[in-house]
Chains A and B, each alone.
Chain A
Amino acid sequence: GAVVSQHPSWVICKSGTSVKIECRSLDFQATTMFWYRQFPKQSLMLMATSNEGSKATYEQGVEKDKFLINHASLTLSTLTVTSAHPEDSSFYICSARIHTGETQYFGPGTRLLVL
């Protein structure tokens, strides 16, 4: 149980384009989902927290207009990187929290490469 999927697993795009990443909880309802970014050999960095049906809460220094988050249902959250640039190239990982506990289950991650 507690499986989280992400799509796509890999994306390569040109600078200036927008990229949407989906995060789904497959076998449980997730009232809260989290989006992280991880650069090579660095620790996880929390970008934002999304709650179903409400606006996302962004961490300090994360541009909300650049990283659009939508949590339309209890099993789906999306992250859209708008007007992506090479410095946005990273490993984006979502996690989902079961509404009854604190445990976060991570998706497999999405590698974004912006050329």
Chain B
Amino acid sequence: QKEVEQNSGPLSVPEGAIASLNCTYSDRGSQSFFWYRQYSGKSPELIMSIYSNGDKEDGRFTAQLNKASQYVSLLIRDSQPSDSATYLCAVNPANDYKLSFGAGTTVTVRA
């Protein structure tokens, strides 16, 4: 079982719609969770970090964490063509300074 799994995608959404990205992780002791965005040919950039159960909102992005279900998600509201990218879920397993990354979900926002 992979440490971090993401819905494989690709995900195509119309402009203005909500894009929903899902991620599950295997280490129940994980404490820190991150979403990165990676445009084609570029390096990842941090969008959100979340540490506690519940929702965390930042502009059009909302991260949701459920530690009991070992599940973290990212919602992108009012999707824009500029949101077209690959989104990486990253988890900091317990007692480990490294991040475990999912394979990524590619999102395409159609104008």
Contacts and interface: CB of A to CB of B under 8 A. Distances in A.
Nearest to B32: A102
A46 interface: yes
A93 B97 contact: no
Main secondary structure of the interface of A (DSSP, over half): strand
B49 interface: yes
Given A105-B46, A106-B44, A107-B43, A43 B32 contact: no
Given A44-B44, A44-B88, A105-B46, A49 B98 contact: yes
B43 A109 contact: yes
Contact of A104 (B31, B42, B99, B103): B99
B43 A97 contact: no
B42 A44 contact: no
B46 A103 contact: yes
B22 interface: no
B43 A102 contact: no
Interface residues of A, number: 17
A9 B74 CA distance: 30
Contacts of B90: 104
Interface string B80-103: 000000001010100001110111
A24 B62 CA distance: 31
Contacts of A93: 43-44
Contacts of A102: 31-32, 92, 97, 99
Nearest to A108: B43
B104 A108 contact: no
Nearest to B103: A43
A91 B102 CA distance: 18
Contacts of A103: 32, 34, 46, 49
A102 B95 CA distance: 11
Interface string B36-53: 100000111110010000
B36 to A, nearest CB: 8
